[in-house]
Amino acid sequence: MELVLGITGGVGAGKSRILEILRQEYGARIIQADQVAAALEEPGEPGLLALTELFGTGILNQEGSLDRKAFAQRIFTDEKALEMVNQVIHPMTWQRIREMIAQEPCPVTAVEAALFSEQSRSLCRHLVFVDTSEENRIHRLMEGRGYSREKCLDIMKNQPDREYFLQLSDYVIDNNGSLETVRSQICRMMEEVTNEIR
């Protein structure tokens, strides 16, 4: 039986560190929801067709591709527009992920997404929250992406709070400590979840 884990957490939580351990040490196939969504927004793909129906062709550049930078600025300053995008793109993304998993079965698949919904709950056997302190998240974003402290706080305030993730998740990985500490938490989790499906 295939094990599908959903990996989530706020921006800067260090989800990529967890995904890399799962890939290297447990042979997990990694699927990142934002990459799947981006592929759906390419020319000729259903996501882009749906977005142009909603917002018109003004969201496209001269080549007919989505002008991602301008579009991102538009939707992140307009809550209603962002909600409309999510209502269209999220179901398509989860449907595509479902198809990818069905077409190429793998013993362990980790699906990383910033937001989970009922669709992800029906697909993933367990949801895993990567928990990291606000200060560590800010530090990682400033160091890794060159963001200002102000920009980090601005992005973070537009994401669900810690309580939302804790209520949603079956497992919590504390990603504030050393790599070894994180590895041992993942090891315990993987022992539990694989015992369940044996």
Query: What pTM did the predictor assign?
Result: 0.89
The secondary structure of 133-183 as a DSSP string is -HHHHHHHHHHHH---HHHHHHHHHTS--HHHHHHH-SEEEE-SS-HHHHH
Give yes or no for a contact between 165 and 129, defined as CB atoms under 8 angstroms apart: yes
Per-residue model confidence (pLDDT) at position 118: 67
How does pLDDT run across 71-112, given as a tens digit for each residue? 888 887 788 888 899 899 999 999 999 999 999 889 999 999
Across 36-59, average pLDDT: 94
pLDDT of 144 over the 80 cut: yes
